[in-house]
Amino acid sequence: MTSEASPGKKQKRAVLSRDLSEFLMEFSIGVHRYAMYPPGHPSLAPAVENIVGRLSTLFIDRRGLAIGVAQDQLVIEGIATDSRHPVLSDLASRLHDHQLGAVGFNKGATAVEIQALLTAIAAESQRGGTPLGLLPPEEFPSWTHVRLYRVGYEQLEMRTEDSEDLVEVDRATALWLGLAQAAMMLEDPLQKPPEAQTVAESINRHGRDDAYDRVIVGYMLQLAEELKGSEGRETERMRRRVSELVKELDDETLERLVTFGGNRRQRDRFLLDANQSLAVDSVMRVLQAAASSNKQTISHSMTRLLKKLATHAEQGQGDMRSQADTALRDNVEALIGGWDLDDPNPDGYTTLLDRMSEASPIFRQPADDEKPLSGPHRLVQMALEVEAFGPTIGQALSDLMTMGETSWILDLLTATGPDNQVAARIRGELASPARFRNILGHGRMDDRALRTLVEDMGEAAIEPLLDVLAESESRAVRRQVFDVLLALGPRVGERVVARLGDSRWFVIRNLLALMTRLPELPTNFDVQPFLDHADHRVRREALPVAMRLPNTRIRTVASALGDSDERIVRVALSQLRGQLPEAVVPTLVNRVVVVETRSDEIRALGARLLRYSRSPLALKALLHLTTAGKNILGRSRLAAASPVSIAALQALAAGWSHDATARVVLDAAAKGKDPELRAAAQVGADVVDDAGLEHLLDADEDGAV
């Protein structure tokens, strides 16, 4: 389906995957640490290990990775980072100051190479040092699996032809300048946009190099995305320039660029954007290169039809021209979406040709108030009108669901009469667990459609929903499924218990988070194994579940206070606000309050809670925290002001002011010179509260799903 943007409508930009985002963050942190700490500092080695670990994950399905550099942005696999992101913009700025255009990583990068890279980049080019990009060839850093590139890839200003004044340029022109600078490997800024033929010749001459190709492709991706929703004279000029570039690239080079290192998601996104932004003859070149790179064969009949549409789109008159253009782009998009097999059989071609014969709006332009429809839309409409169903309709339904059009299908079924047999069959198709699981896996179903289907399916939807919750790599999809499962209520609990034997910690964590929010817990659920789980993230989610069991609540809190994970300790402390069972006091004192390896925040919060206790152990602990030995007269000397000692003084003032021993310490603090200690010793019981704990819990929330 063609997604046409109206004038002025802002296009939604692509975002980085979680793996790429986490790698860039680790890379940024590593450079920052190497700039901050001296050689040999203990913080440096973990930074290198984290980067190597992230790379090993990325290289599972990649041969290499390249990062293009702009002044305050990075370009990775065709997606530009947000220039407002403080950490990533700082890394981009450092690389840009070194006059580097890209950093390339290949599979096999070692810790030694990463350490050398971080050391080189961390050197300040602004304080007397020579930027890496300006070093002579014999001094320029080079490693086996890591490469630096000298090129400056984005020049956001240029000079007019008849003036030396710098003028601001639009984003598409800036991207073209960046593409040209990268392709031609120039060190000096470009004064004006070069012609497409010049840029194409540079790309054609360059040998196969993953880092170079990825940076070039990154700019082509952004240009295609930028042009598809823009209008105006400059945009049209740039559209012609990019289209000309595509035509000037030789077949082998274009095929190599379209391949994207085997990343089909990016290849398809580029094809779809190019289909909407480039001239039709360039669209045909890109399509044929993609087919060749993906080992697909477009039949001669289909090729002739596409070329005929392209001819009408370029040379037709009036409405014929615009209608042929729309038909060509609709069917190219349908063809791209249907490339699921390495060797499509003739039936697949027949299906596509059938769609084209129905979809091509050669003889009628849709009315202004009609939604533009693709081939699959028209096929499903026709099937309902004539009450006919076959493999072609089944494929059209699959295409629509993959395109995120499930809501459109449901609305169409609602508008169809109740006696329509095809409508009933399509509803059955949508509600089958296998089909339902497949739709969810694509992550293209909106909330309204999802809830409608779940309502139709009833309990049959639970297992597919739990499958997607466990398997989907998209956090947004998992969150959507999570919320729908909650709405199904107690019926979900028994199914969740049956899946808690999964060995993956993140699956268990999400299932426990779901359990926590269910209205009631299943009777056959034993939470103890998860409270003892080796992974602290699982224990974090198990704790709120255990808190719902009244018979074991105090024992659970006491056990959590001794956990090595401070997040769990904080949750346990939050359960003691306003009440402190005496059975918990020994654990609170010995595992939290007096343990110096705990953070000051945790110890201070624990000390505050001791005001609720009347135990001599609590008083002894508070006196220990507020005093520091004896002076020469044999009197207790006050401990220096700290978050822990101040919290302990507040607890004494609020809960132990009538005790003679505590009174001595409080009086000494009230008469002392330290204003913080004086203030702490004079607070009343109604002043001391634990709001700080709630704030810390909110700030430290990491969340499941």
pLDDT tens track for 287-341: 777 776 665 556 555 565 666 666 666 666 666 666 667 777 777 777 666 655 4
Listed in sequence order, the residues at least 6 apart from 85 whose beta carbon sits closer than 8 Å to its beta carbon are: none
Of 471, 457, 548, give the one whose Cα is nearest residue 504.
Answer: 471
To the nearest whole percent, how much of the chain has pLDDT over 70? Answer: 75
| Greater model confidence, 53 or 697 | 53
- CA pair distance 652, 357, nearest whole angstrom: 85
Its domain, for residue 642, covers 595-689
Q: Give the DSSP H/E element, type plus range, for residue 529.
A: helix 528-531
Query: First-to-last CA distance in the chain?
Result: 31
Q: What is the pLDDT of residues 256-286, one digit of tens each?
A: 777 754 456 666 767 777 777 777 777 777 7
pLDDT at 97: 83
- Compute the average pLDDT of residues 504-513: 87
> Half-sphere exposure of residue 441, counting CA atoms within 13 Å on the CB side?
10
Q: Is the pLDDT of residue 358 over 80?
A: no
CA distance 4 to 228: 8
Number of C-beta neighbours around residue 614 at 10 A: 12
Per the prediction, the chain carries an average pLDDT of 76
Task: List, for residues 72-121, the tens digit of each pLDDT value.
Answer: 788 887 677 887 888 888 888 888 888 887 888 988 999 999 999 999 99
Cβ burial 639-673 (10 Å sphere, 16+ → b, else e): bebebbbbbbbbbbbbbbeebeebeebbebbeeee
**Residue 162 domain-assigned (yes or no):** no
Question: 65: closest CA among 628, 74, 596?
Answer: 74
What is the pLDDT at residue 264?
64
Q: What is the pLDDT of residues 656-690, one digit of tens each?
A: 888 888 898 998 888 888 898 888 888 754 444 55
In a domain, 54, yes or no: no
What is the pLDDT averaged over residues 473-500? 83
Residue 673 lies in a domain: yes
Task: Give the helix/strand (H/E) hosting 46.
Answer: helix 44-58
pLDDT in tens, 616-625: 998 999 999 9
pLDDT confidence of residue 188: 56
With respect to residue 31, please indicate whether it lies within any of the assigned structural domains: no
Domain presence at residue 3: no
Q: Is the pLDDT of residue 608 over 70?
A: yes
Sign of the alpha-carbon dihedral angle for 584, 589, 595, 596:
positive
For residue 48, name the pLDDT band (cuts at 50, 70, 90). Answer: very high
Let me know if 213 is exposed, middle or buried by CB neighbors in 10 A (0-12, 13-18, 19+): buried
Contact by Cβ (8 Å): 68, 102? yes
Q: Cα separation of 499 and 60, whole Å?
A: 28
Residues 634 and 54: their CA atoms lie apart, in Å, by 59
- Residue 231 belongs to a domain: no
Residues 432/437/438/440 CA torsion (nearest 10 deg): 120
- Give 199's pLDDT tier (boundaries 50, 70, 90): confident
Q: Could you tell me the two tokens for 546?
A: 């255990």
Average pLDDT over residues 384-396: 76
Which DSSP string do the residues of 287-323 spell out, in sequence order?
HHHHHHHTT----HHHHHHHHHHHHHHHH--THHHHH
Instruction: Identify the residue with better confidence: 604 or 252.
Output: 604
pLDDT tens digits, 13-47: 557 788 888 899 999 989 988 988 888 888 899 99
pLDDT at 313: 64
Q: H or E segment at 628?
A: strand 627-630
Residue 282: count of CB within 10 angstroms of its CB: 21
Higher pLDDT, 359 or 537: 537
User: Total domain count for the chain?
Assistant: 1
> What is the pLDDT at residue 26?
92
CB-based contact 239:227 (threshold 8 Å): yes
Q: Is 680 contained in some domain?
A: yes
Residue 197: inside a domain: no
